[in-house]
Structure 1
Amino acid sequence: MTDLHTDRLLLRRWRDSDLAPWAAMNADPEVRQHLGEPLTRERSDESVARFEAAFERRGYGWWAVEVRATGEFIGFAGLDDIDYEAPFTGVEIGWRLARSAWGHGYATEAARAVLAFGFDTLELPEILAVTTATNLRSQAVMTRLGMTRDPAGDFDDLDAPEGPLRPNVLFRLPRPTEA
């Protein structure tokens, strides 16, 4: 399975040593602000098992992200098949970082590596990104990546409770054409 390298980051498969910091991230209400309620340790560990199973099944998914200089685990970034109720289908990019990693450009850097993998290795025709309408930080990353908002794809996540987690926005990035 492919590790992805950037100047500052390593995107790699998950290790047992990632479980505690991943659980701490998922228990942080600020990290979970646009995702729903904080997760228990058990649910957090189960998510990693799902991530690893997806890698085994299809060869891509959510990579653990670490800072190369220190080896510190700071979150995840990757690709996932859209398998939920939405007015579109495809493969979406995503990321989630610990608060200590916010504001350093890591999400954009990791996402660029993921996009390159999706387009160059998987030869995807398009990569999508979805977030809540109130998640302006993630939308800013999407814009920095060159993604374009597609209001026709915006939808309400009916699995989310009434409130700010329900309205979702869609961004798209087509595969770059060779010049």
Structure 2
Amino acid sequence: MSIPAERRLNTVRLALRPVTPADRADLVALEADPEVMRFLNGGRPVPEEACPDSDFLTPRGTEPEVLAAHARATGAFIGWFALFDDGWVDGVRTAELGYRLRRDAWGQGHASEGARALVAEALGRRGFGRVRAQTMSVNTGSRRVLEKVGFRQVETVFPAFPHPFPGVEHGEVIYEVRRDDI
């Protein structure tokens, strides 16, 4: 299956393209890593059939908003990025950024590089006025990524977790970047 060029994004080191069912094994393996899932569900592996009623995304290769990220140099699967259209929120057309990377890709700038590309796409060609992202307060790695890309913290929330795990008591932080900020 050929993916149209307008649905792809390339950065210096990453090739981003919509996920397909052929990505399922990589997506499932990503969520089987307890460290990858630590700030989403306390490190519990996600079942292969996914978690349709969870409050976090468990892509399986059919989600149009999700982009598989591969290293341009090697073609290796690095993880995924997503940009969701949240519609008009407080009078501003808003998108939500999400991402999840393999542990061996952490600390190499891939998250910042991919997030920066999606933010530029959202605030530029796609016409959003704001991009938001949310992470656990204790997830310092994700917070650093968002700050590097230009996001600023705007709120802390305390959602109810049906199965609480360490760190949830500190809440989740919501970050945003607006077109006017860049």
Q: Under TM normalisation by the shorter chain, which class is it? A: 0.7 to 0.9
Are 2:126 and 1:122 equivalent residues in the alignment?
Answer: yes
* Structure 1 residues without counterparts, runs of 5 or longer: 56-60, 84-88
* Structure 2 residues without counterparts, runs of 5 or longer: 1-5, 53-57, 88-92
State the partner residue of 2:78: 74
Are 2:148 and 1:141 equivalent residues in the alignment?
Answer: no
TM-score (ref. length: structure 1): 0.82
More strand by share: 2
Contact 1:79 / 1:93 at 8 angstroms: preserved in 2? yes
DSSP-derived class of the 1:7 partner? coil
Which residue of 90, 96, 107 maps to 1:103? 107
Which residue of 10, 15, 19 maps to 1:10? 15
- Whichever residue aligns with residue 23 of structure 2, its letter is D
Are 2:29 and 1:24 equivalent residues in the alignment?
Answer: yes
Contact 1:35 / 1:165 at 8 angstroms: preserved in 2? no
Deviation at 1:155, TM superposition (A): 0.9
- Whichever residue aligns with residue 100 of structure 1, its letter is D
DSSP-derived class of the 1:42 partner? coil
DSSP-derived class of the 2:119 partner? helix
| Aligned-residue identity in percent | 31
Deviation at 1:95, TM superposition (A): 1.1
Are 2:86 and 1:42 equivalent residues in the alignment?
Answer: no
Deviation at 1:99, TM superposition (A): 0.5
User: Equivalents in 1 of 2:118, 2:136: separation in Å?
Assistant: 21
Are 2:157 and 1:155 equivalent residues in the alignment?
Answer: yes
- Whichever residue aligns with residue 157 of structure 1, its letter is P
State the partner residue of 1:86: none
Alignment coverage as a number of residue pairs: 164
Contact 2:153 / 2:176 at 8 angstroms: preserved in 1? yes
User: Equivalents in 2 of 1:49, 1:42: separation in Å?
Assistant: 12
- Report the more deviating stretch, 127-136 or 169-178: 169-178
Question: Structure 1 residues 158 and 12 mapped into 2: Cα distance closer, same or farther (>3 Å)?
Answer: same
Are 2:177 and 1:170 equivalent residues in the alignment?
Answer: no
- Whichever residue aligns with residue 25 of structure 2, its letter is A
Question: Structure 1 residues 82 and 29 mapped into 2: Cα distance closer, same or farther (>3 Å)?
Answer: farther
CA RMSD of aligned residues (A): 2.5
Q: For residues 31-69 of structure 1, give each alpha carbon's deviation from its aligned partner in whole angstroms, at most 9, with x where no partner exists.
A: 000011320112179722552xxx2xxxxx221100011
DSSP-derived class of the 1:92 partner? strand
TM-score (ref. length: structure 2): 0.80
Question: Structure 1 residues 158 and 90 mapped into 2: Cα distance closer, same or farther (>3 Å)?
Answer: farther
State the partner residue of 1:58: none
- Report the more deviating stretch, 156-165 or 35-44: 156-165
